[in-house]
Structure 1
């Protein structure tokens, strides 16, 4: 089993300067960066550190996932955003879990021993939204996710290709979880403790994403398999 670690970035130079050396690069067989067109030195940072970098022709988190899939050589693809939220120490744990043969393994913030970062969400709107949309998938597709939204995950490349993902923005993880449940893929989770983001506010607006997720779920619900 060979693993490709895909680093997803858009103007993350502050976080990279602080935590790049903490990322266990050697745990993966291949490392590539997919960048949304950074202007803060992120791309130059990767080049300096010998990381193959693919600059997206079109922005969007969903497109970044697909670029990663199309360019990864490994049997499994591990998506990691080095913005401070995701704990790099969980990368080897995800890889070890993948060796059991699961199609998708997600780092869950909401299972036992997991924790989400709510430092910029005092009303817990994002937290409750994540739990709500996860519960929706479980209700309609009889799945057992505790965190269907987190993008910190490792996925079998062959299974990922069969999902025919087409989400272009932050709905990509949601779509992946829905379609995996539809196709009865084998899914596992490990607990993760989400840390505080480095280098500015989150790029996704919580209320806007809640509306988009609602519309997106209805689209997926009535979409023919």
Structure 2
């Protein structure tokens, strides 16, 4: 089975090298989607042997991972691993995720199955619970960490749920997968808060969650 790793990256020059090196031994190819970085992220990724796809401007994580997913589909990979370039995701957990993928269409690394979520802000924990609860109710599943970006997909199943919107792509894909009765499993993986850069989770984004969630739900339930 052929596996490609997709790393969405925006100004991650401080961390991307070690992530590539730690991921390399577990996959056939590493694809870094440089999402309009200005700090030399793309050049560093190439120096570490990654295939680099550059976006002219920043599209957000959703746009970056969609580009990487499409690469996996176009190049006939069997599995695609998604791992962040900021160092939050431990490459040492990759073998456990890939092993679980033998019996699943989507594997989610869950922070809720261990104590690492305690380090997160109250706003971020509330957002994760909110989205996870909605997906569980509407999708008829029992997941704990729907917003996790550390994942493995079976590529032929991923082609059916490739997200249309860049906002809350993980929620959209997971809900769509659940509605299609795809096999979703979780693996406990500790994910500490990032040591550099800034989190996207703020009180302002939390206030907008219900409106964005309505958009995701309508898109999946009515138009997919």
On whether the aligned pair clears a TM of 0.5, the verdict is yes
Correspondence for 1:68 = 68
For the aligned residue pairs, the C-alpha RMSD in angstroms reads 2.0
The C-alpha deviation readout for 1:146-194, integer Å capped at 9, x for no partner, is: 111111100011111111410123x111111110111110001100111
Secondary structure of the 1:184 match is coil
Structure 2's unaligned 5+ residue stretches are none
Pair 1:26 & 2:25 matched: yes
**In 2, are the aligned partners of 1:87 and 1:195 still within 8 Å (CA)?**
no
Secondary structure of the 1:24 match is helix
**In 2, are the aligned partners of 1:117 and 1:195 still within 8 Å (CA)?**
no
Structure 1's unaligned 5+ residue stretches are none
Secondary structure of the 1:106 match is strand
Deviation larger for 53-62 or 182-191: 53-62
Correspondence list, 1:65-214, <5 A? 65-72=65-72, 73=75, 74-100=77-103, 102-111=104-113, 113=114, 115-116=116-117, 118-119=119-120, 121=121, 124-169=122-167, 171-205=168-202, 207-208=204-205, 211-212=208-209, 213-214=212-213
In 2, the alpha carbon distance for the partners of 1:114 and 1:159 equals 31
- Tell me: CA distance 1:84–1:9, structure 2 relative to 1, closer, same or farther (3 Å): same
In 1, the alpha carbon distance for the partners of 2:16 and 2:30 equals 15
In 2, the alpha carbon distance for the partners of 1:82 and 1:126 equals 20
The C-alpha deviation readout for 1:114-150, integer Å capped at 9, x for no partner, is: 522635x2xx111122012101111122111111111
**In 2, are the aligned partners of 1:129 and 1:210 still within 8 Å (CA)?**
no
Runs of 4+ with >6 A deviation = none
Q: CA deviation at 1:206?
A: 5.0
The C-alpha deviation readout for 1:36-65, integer Å capped at 9, x for no partner, is: 011111111011112110012452211111
Equivalenced residue count is 218
Q: CA deviation at 1:215?
A: 3.1
Secondary structure of the 1:115 match is helix
